[in-house]
């Protein structure tokens, strides 16, 4: 049974949704609620001054309205998460603002490749199955899990706040809202979604799954991801005041229009970009022509809530393939804890603190210092002859660790060059989503500033780093060596790879998996770990249909005289990471027909 707060007066529509008896079996189903707000039956957000006005968990606890507003998630706020626009409930604090999922039918308006739920669980992680119905009468089932709002993991969080409202007022306790997506058939138009029915286990009361918002992720027709980078869990270890950052990005494919994705994923507070520009690079921080201003909803300035993103408006702009761009961002005021991709392997350029906006500067850009990571920016998309994207999902070996700085010697760079040589302007784009230190199974992340840079586990970062990429059709997965070197079992890693493949297949993607490269001679390995690596590689080579194809990265770089070790000419020197020549050999091992 759904609980109803006696202290809260529910709107009539919500009372009908909660209290109406089920329709007779022989009759047509009742029409869905017009939108989620029509089904609200719980108040989960209260002010610090009146904490008893809401009760999210049945114990009198709730989110603190002031904390959500400070994070940019106040009433009616629109936040883009993983490419999906979510709108916070417009209810005033203390009024119904979420639905306790129990089979309600909600009308959907629009179309897209995924349906994203802004949710949280109470009592424990809350899970259940629901149904999406399409306008042609077809339907599909889905399963949704909402992690517990304070004990759940941080890897799928949309936003966290540092306090929870109790009947006695706010207390220090991290609480979270989560963005969880399910795939849709983008060829059909969804008509409605039936929310999950959550059941308890062991005879105890069922956890509750609270739905605060729904959003359809648009299919970005015509766009491809010519460059991207994964936001890891690191936050830039600087405090910047009135600075302009000029960053270098190497494209895979070209196009005639461009847009960028600014990113505040894992950021603890709103982040404002006062001005962003783009230019083709001549050399260093010098553009080949005057940088062009990018706008966001027609405005120069963009503010991203904590955990949010911002896409620039499409801009007519000639983007060359296999070339360097300069994206400059001016950060007004003081910025601390900006999200980043920590392993840039590229010199970037910064003005001094306390300056004015230099994003539009040309050769006179006032370089004060260099830095080596991407920050605030996570993607560049183009329209043009290319119509698909290959996403490289991996760890430091996909990130290009130990290759030459400023050399663009990552294996995804070399793969993009091979595809261009084969297909010319129509070649697929290649998006590098490697994170140094990343694992299949374990988060190296707790959502807090400066606690590591190895990122969210691969099984949990698929939605943001793969499925939300523009034009994605294929994912090449090279993950697992860090799990092995942390003594994870081969069977667990294999199960994680199969989970990645199954999830990607649900989104209609091709999955190519790579064998793990040798680590003999590295202090990170031992006979047991080597045996686990070999077991995983044997499974990949005999994949039994779990994947669409596989690539033997191991064979491409190993020493035939010592198969557990890398060929000396491909070894960066640490006996784990290839050098540039090794990364090229890996890219050459990929059968382009499998992509």
Q: According to the model, what pLDDT value does residue 415 have?
A: 98
Per-residue pLDDT at 381 exceeds 50: yes
Maximum distance among all alpha carbons in the chain?
A: 76
As to burial, measured by CB atoms within 10 angstroms (0-12 exposed, 13-18 middle, 19+ buried), residue 420 is buried
Query: In terms of DSSP bridges, do strands 271-273 and 302-304 run parallel, antiparallel, or are they unpaired?
Result: antiparallel
- The full DSSP string for 253-311 is S-EEEEEEEEE-TT-SS-EEESEEEEEEEEETTEESS--EEE-BTTBS-EEEPTT-EEE
Count the neighbouring beta carbons within 10 Å of the beta carbon of residue 594.
Answer: 15
Mean pLDDT of all residues in 533-561: 95
3-state secondary structure of 374: strand
pLDDT number for residue 5: 35
Q: Is the pLDDT of residue 42 over 90?
A: yes
Residue 24's pLDDT is what?
35
Nearest Cα residue to 518 out of 509, 530, 500, 508 = 530
**pLDDT at residue 25, rounded to an integer:** 40
How large is the average pLDDT for residues 12-21? 26
Q: What is the pLDDT of residue 200?
A: 65
Distance CA 42, CA 55 (A): 8
Burial (CB count within 10 angstroms: exposed 0-12, middle 13-18, buried 19+), residue 73? buried
* Predicted local confidence at residue 237, as pLDDT: 83
Q: How far apart are CA 321 and CA 420, in angstroms?
A: 8
Cβ(238)–Cβ(245) below 8 Å: no
Q: Are 383 and 466 in contact (CB under 8 A)?
A: no
pLDDT at 11: 27
Question: Is the confidence at residue 565, as pLDDT, over 60?
Answer: yes
Residue 71 contacts by C-beta under 8 Å, 6 or more apart in sequence? Answer: 159, 161, 268, 269, 270, 305, 306, 307
To the nearest whole percent, how much of the chain has pLDDT over 90? 88
**Residue 221: C-alpha distances to residues 164, 254, 258, 384, 472 (Å):** 41, 16, 13, 11, 11
Q: How far is CA 380 from the centre of its chain?
A: 15
**d(C-alpha 517, C-alpha 586), whole Å:** 9
Are 550 and 544 in contact, with CB atoms under 8 Å apart? no
Confidence of residue 38 (pLDDT cuts 50, 70, 90): very high
Question: What's the pLDDT tens digit per position in 327-336?
Answer: 999 999 999 9
Q: Which helix (H) or strand (E) holds 242?
A: strand 239-250
Q: For residue 116, which of 158, 149, 77, 74 has the smallest C-alpha distance? A: 158
Mean pLDDT value across residues 247-264: 98
On the question of pLDDT at 262 being above 70, the answer is yes
With 90 as the cut, is the pLDDT of residue 289 above it?
yes
Whose tokens are 């990929």? That residue is 590
Q: Which helix (H) or strand (E) holds 433?
A: strand 429-434
Q: What pLDDT does residue 543 have?
A: 78
Selected residue with higher pLDDT from 170 and 15: 170
**DSSP string for residues in 141-165:** EEEEEE-BTTTS-STTEEEEEEEEE
Task: State the Cα–Cα distance between residues 468 and 452, nearest whole angstrom.
Answer: 24
Locate tokens 């105890």: which residue? 204
Residue 419's closest CA among 321, 508, 284? 321
Which of the listed CATH numbers 3.30.1490, 1.10.357, 1.10.8, 2.60.120 matches domain 220-384?
Answer: 2.60.120
Supply 355's token pair. Answer: 């300056």
How is residue 570 annotated by DSSP?
G
Q: How far apart are CA 34 and CA 510, in angstroms?
A: 36
Asked if domains 220-384 and 388-595 share a fold, the reply is no
- Strand ranges in 528-581 using DSSP code E only, listed in sequence order: 549-551, 558-559, 562-566
For 66-106, what is each residue's pLDDT tens digit? 999 999 999 999 999 999 999 999 999 999 999 999 999 99
**Phi, psi for residue 246 in degrees, rounded to 5:** -115, 115
Confidence of residue 13 (pLDDT cuts 50, 70, 90): very low
Give the confidence band of 122 by pLDDT, cuts at 50, 70, 90. Answer: very high
So what's the pLDDT on residue 30?
79
b/e code 159-183 from CB counts within 10 Å (16+ = b): bbbebbbbeeebeeebbbbbbbbbb
Q: Is 383 exposed, middle or buried (0-12, 13-18, 19+ CB in 10 A)?
A: buried
Strands 429-434 and 255-263: unpaired
* Mean local confidence (pLDDT), 195-201: 84
pLDDT score, position 2: 44
Q: What is the pLDDT, as a whole number, of residue 3?
A: 47
Is the per-residue pLDDT at 481 higher than 50? Answer: yes
CATH 3.90.1150.10 matches 388-595: no
Average pLDDT, the chain: 93
Q: Answer whether residue 359 shows pLDDT above 50.
A: yes
Instruction: Name the residue ranges covered by the structural domains of the chain.
Output: 12-217, 220-384, 388-595
C-alpha distances in Å from residue 227, one per residue of 303, 312, 378, 457, 558: 22, 15, 8, 22, 29
Which tokens is 365 given? Answer: 């850009």
């Amino acid at each position: 049974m759904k609980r109803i707060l006696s202290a809260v007066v529910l709107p009539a529509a919500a009372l009908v949704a909660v209290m109406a008896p089920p329709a007779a079996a022989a009759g047509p189903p009742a029409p869905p609620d017009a939108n989620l707000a029509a089904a609200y039956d719980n108040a989960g957000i209260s002010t610090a001054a009146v904490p008893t006005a809401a009760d999210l968990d049945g114990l009198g606890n709730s989110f603190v309205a002031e904390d959500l507003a400070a994070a940019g998630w106040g009433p009616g706020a629109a936040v883009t998460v993983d490419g999906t626009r979510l709108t916070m409930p417009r209810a005033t604090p203390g009024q119904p603002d979420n639905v306790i999922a129990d089979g309600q039918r909600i009308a959907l308006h629009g179309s897209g490749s995924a349906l994203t739920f802004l949710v949280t669980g109470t009592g424990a992680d809350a899970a259940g199955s629901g149904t999406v119905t399409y306008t042609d009468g077809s339907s599909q089932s889905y399963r949704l899990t909402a992690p517990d709002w304070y004990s759940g993991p941080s890897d799928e969080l949309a936003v966290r706040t540092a306090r929870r409202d109790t009947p006695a007022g706010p207390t220090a306790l991290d609480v979270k809202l989560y963005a969880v997506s399910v795939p849709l058939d983008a060829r059909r138009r969804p008509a409605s979604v039936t929310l999950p029915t959550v059941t308890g286990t062991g005879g105890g009361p069922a956890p509750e799954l609270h739905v605060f918002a729904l959003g359809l992720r648009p299919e970005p027709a015509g766009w491809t991801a010519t460059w991207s980078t994964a936001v890891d869990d690191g936050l830039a270890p600087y405090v910047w005041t009135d600075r302009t950052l000029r960053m270098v990005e190497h494209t895979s494919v070209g196009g005639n229009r461009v847009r960028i994705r600014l990113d505040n994923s894992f950021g603890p507070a709103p982040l404002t970009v006062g001005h962003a520009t783009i230019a083709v690079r001549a050399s260093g921080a010098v553009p080949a022509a005057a940088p062009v201003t990018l706008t966001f909803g027609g405005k120069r300035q963009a503010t991203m809530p904590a955990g949010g993103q911002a896409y620039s408006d499409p801009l007519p702009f000639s983007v060359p393939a296999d070339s360097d761009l300069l994206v400059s961002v001016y950060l007004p005021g003081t910025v601390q804890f900006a999200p980043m991709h920590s392993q840039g392997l590229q010199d970037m350029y910064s003005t001094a603190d306390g300056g004015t906006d230099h994003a539009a500067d040309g050769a006179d850009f006032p370089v004060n210092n260099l830095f080596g990571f991407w920050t605030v920016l996570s993607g560049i998309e183009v329209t043009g002859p290319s119509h698909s994207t290959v996403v490289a999902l991996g760890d430091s070996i996909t990130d290009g660790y130990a290759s030459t700085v400023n050399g663009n010697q990552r294996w995804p760079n070399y793969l993009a060059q091979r595809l261009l040589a084969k297909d010319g302007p129509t070649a697929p784009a290649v998006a590098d989503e490697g994170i140094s230190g990343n694992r299949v199974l374990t988060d190296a992340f707790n959502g807090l500033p400066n606690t590591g840079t190895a990122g969210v586990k691969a099984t949990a970062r698929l939605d943001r780093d793969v499925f939300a990429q523009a034009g994605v059709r294929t994912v090449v997965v090279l993950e697992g060596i860090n799990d092995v070197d942390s003594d994870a079992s081969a069977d667990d890693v294999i199960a994680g790879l199969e989970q990645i493949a199954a999830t990607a297949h649900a989104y209609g993607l091709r999955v190519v998996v790579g064998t793990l490269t040798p680590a003999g001679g590295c202090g990170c390995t031992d006979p047991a770990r080597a045996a686990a690596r070999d077991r995983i590689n044997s499974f990949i080579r005999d994949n039994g249909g779990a994947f669409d194809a596989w690539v033997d990265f191991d064979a491409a770089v190993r020493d035939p005289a010592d198969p557990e070790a890398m060929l000396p000419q491909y070894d960066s020197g640490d006996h784990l990471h290839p050098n540039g020549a090794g990364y090229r050999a890996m890219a050459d091992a990929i059968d382009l027909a499998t992509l």
